[in-house]
Amino acid sequence: MPAPRQAWLTPLVLLVGVIFAAGMGLCSYARIASPPLHPNPEAAPSVQDASPSPRWADAVKHSQQLVRTELAAQDLPGLSVAVGVDGAIAWAEGFGYADVEQRTPVTPKTQFRIGHASKALTSAAVGLLLERGRLNLDEEIQTYVPEFPKKQWPITLRQLMGHVAGIRHYESEADQRPTTHCERASEGLPRFANDPLRFEPETEYRYSIYGWVLVSAAVEAAAGEPFFTFMRTQIFDPLGMTGTTVDSSSESIPDRTTFYESGFVGMLRPVSGLDYSCFAGGGAFLSTPSDLVRFGLAVNGGKLLQPFTVTRLQTSQGLRSGAETAYGLGWMLDTVPLAGESVRLANHASRTVVGSSVSFLTFPDRGLVVAVTTNINYASTRHIALGIAEAFENNRRRPAGK
């Protein structure tokens, strides 16, 4: 019996060896064929709108070094940063390439997909309508969107905003790479409207972008106009957010970056043709770090919403078990160390939308806002943003002239 077994085992081992060797060869070729994007990080291009105030010179210098180091270490195509302190933008700068092939540099005006961070902007739209008495957080969603089918349990606007309603998240390649264009938020409902709830509301916390499409449809109905029109006229235009718009593949947007993802063995691959407009307020917006900072400063400075409304939106939701979710109504909530103290953080991030990674941090008790965007998904931007926040907070605490 051993002889026949040897007869088929030897060729199999040889075949596996050949496949392994071929794979290693392809990996080696890929590494050679795709050299680092920024072999000398100090030489990577950078563009500022204006020179920052001398007051922040040390913080900017420290932050620039941090950004350049991470640009090279993570092999990012491009990255953009903005910081707001005490009601004004203190620094904004783009690094690397908006388009690698054309060597087009990132500038502070370059627009990035902000993906899931769109929810913080949409949260403010809900806040405005709450203040005007046109939305109620605890009404069943069919009060505002009657065309949405009733489920095995009732669901409310508050539950949807807190990701505790049971609406599903995206689950397939088609979900994550949409190509259909939507003019109104309600046009995005059919993709998930007939799906059952994944759990009884308030028994679990489970993130759902589609829950926020439904929130956007409620905003649209309560406002009496298309969701994107309301966002533009009531939030973006009043705050001077001129770089914030809908991410649409059918429109020419001159300042929009090229979007990238990691392909075979990390090789950079541009991605086009995707259209996130049907994600509405859950993930449809393009923006700049400077616009995100303007928004964050306005929210936490009382220039857009009443303080009571902001507190409602930035308070952690809870489950029936008594556990808190660490998520408010469109805001991720945390406590982090900053300049030797534990401080409150209201923020939002996005890493899974194709061609985008974002960290948008606001420190409401410090009057500090930091936004970092890049044009590739699954990049690590949070520790960059936190490092920048640390530099600016330390700089602010240092006596003038020292």
Task: Compute the distance between CA of residue 402 and CA of residue 385 in angstroms, rounded to an integer.
Answer: 24
Cβ burial, residue 308 (10 Å; 0-12/13-18/19+): exposed
Closest CA to 41 of 63, 61, 65: 65
pLDDT above 50 for 28: no
Mean pLDDT, residues 162-177: 88
pLDDT at 178: 87
Instruction: Indicate whether 312 pLDDT > 60.
Output: yes
Q: How far apart are CA 85 and CA 131, in angstroms?
A: 27
Identify residue 191 by its one-letter amino acid code.
R
Inform me whether the pLDDT recorded for 216 exceeds 70: yes
Q: What's the rounded Cα separation, in Å, for the pair 92 and 215?
A: 32
Closest CA to 297 of 242, 387, 388, 367: 367
C-alpha span between 249 and 251 (Å, rounded): 6
- Note the pLDDT of residue 400: 59
- Provide the pLDDT for residue 249: 85
Q: Which of 343, 277, 311, 329 is nearest to 121 (CA)?
A: 329
Domain ranges of the chain: 47-397
CA distances from 207 to 17, 116, 159, 219, 290 (A): 43, 10, 11, 20, 27
Q: Report the candidate in 379, 402, 366, 383 with the shortest Cα–Cα distance to residue 90.
A: 366
Q: Which regions of 67-193 does DSSP assign to beta strands (E)?
A: 78-85, 88-99, 104-105, 112-113
Q: How far apart are the first and last CA of the chain?
A: 85
Give the class (CATH, top level) of 47-397.
alpha beta
pTM: 0.91
Residue 342 has pLDDT above 70, yes or no: yes
pLDDT in tens, 52-69: 889 999 999 999 999 999
